[in-house]
Structure 1
Amino acid sequence: MELNEVKLTEQMAKVFSIAEQECKQRESRCLMPEHLFLGCLDGGSYPIKEAIQKSGLDIDSLKNSCNHFHENLSLVICEPIKTPFCQSTKLVIDQAISYMRNYNQIFLNAGHVLKALIKSGHTDRVLTPEQQNTFLSLATVSRDMYLDLSGYCPQKQLYKNIRMVRNEDVERLNLFIKEEFGARWTETIKQAVERHLPSIYIAEDQSGDIIGFAAFDTHQPGYFGPMGVTKYKRARSIGESLLHVCLEGMLRKGYKEIIIHQAGPIEFYEKACNAKVIPLNE
């Protein structure tokens, strides 16, 4: 178990807190997958709430139907969670951490845990296959988000060494993106530069090495993204600063409302700029 080496989003910390309360109320010896699932439902993000509504899930009935399954109850203690885990919960958390790392992220969120719970079969007793697919398609994937810029006020830039990309930066920027995130964004950036779009910014360290980038209008006008910061420099306000530099640029360009394209860390954008997840149509 590597949970003590992982950062938790605020919502994920809330999920664990609710799960521990469920465990205590049910007088369980340890925190089980069903407690974790109830924590995700009660403490999760907007996409989870949207999935609850669209799947027709009755939370009260779900809680009443939850039964304890006492197989494999050897206990595991893992800081910072005080309640012991059963082995099944340990495996779920390990799988969630694996998803987090596969997405090249450093914060464990409720989407990672929910996906691990569903994929490992721990929701089979309480969700139909259709309901499970609804949760997977709405609550465990990247989503477009909406931001109204009409009331946006430029923020104090926390990380100062950010500037617009120049032609001589393109090759090393694409190398940085490929090494850190794979080749999925390199063609987008290359085409944006070829179209002479002044909408790509880079963050550099004191040695002049690129440690992050952000862009807008690369997919289509009024769209923010992509953005990425090297894994070893995250949680230092670099991504937040890149975001606000771009938002100010979009504001100057006359945009009143924008779309954050395929936001992976939804909670980051909710907190950084009060962006809202765009509900999916029926």
Structure 2
Amino acid sequence: MTLPFAGLLRETPRMRITRRGTGDEDLLVVLGWGNRVAHEHVAWLLTRLLEAGYRVHAVTIPTNVWNFDDQYLAPLDDYVSERDFDIVLSHSTGGLIAEHLAERHPLRNVFLSPWWGVRTAGRIDPAILAVFERLPTARRLHSPDLDADAIGDLKSPAEAELGPSGLSPAFLGTIRDAQARLGKFDDADVVFYSPTDRVVDPAAIEARAPAANRVRYDGGHEFFASSGRNAVLDDVLAALENGPAAISA
């Protein structure tokens, strides 16, 4: 989305990449909207990946962009081009970014609750949403009404309240455009998701990924902030190692 100068703020989108570990294989981890490596449950996931022997490159994404390709894809495009990545683990908005990134590089994806569709049922009238996302501004005008339990039952309300201050029309518009431009699903990829997810649209995941490539779990939007996370983690690590073969066994 191209915005008039008046629609922009003094808010510069910055992507941060944290490198940890001395394992044998580099793993790109694209975090979700609002996730930080210092968050308790994100740190839990990253620690488990380090213990599994990966060199982790954790990507903290900006939470207010208005050009998906320039501000999300281009920085990672350059980063991946300079390194030897085979696998990407991604969550939520990171899953949308990772899917587009795989169209530019030979990467295998393991997705965690990817944001491939905007959930509107019972929350936002689609007609109102369509008007909102066309407003020519990057100001954060909408704050999603989600409690900590929608993220995961281990998530504390205090940490949930420290998230981004809201969504801008420009951000939502560029996300919806990126969702509409998704290519064909790669049969080598695996998707973990909760059918009761209240943050992203589970129906969009089910419509896009074949059943053989999907793994359901009981929990919130972040499996790593949900009580059953240890069992899910075992399957995630297996999928990182062996792809769909690991989940069909």
For the aligned pair, the TM-score class normalised by the smaller chain equals under 0.3
Structure of larger gyration radius: 1
TM-score of the two chains, using structure 2 as the length reference: 0.24
TM-score of the two chains, using structure 1 as the length reference: 0.22
Whose helix proportion is higher, 1 or 2? 1
Whose strand proportion is higher, 1 or 2? 1
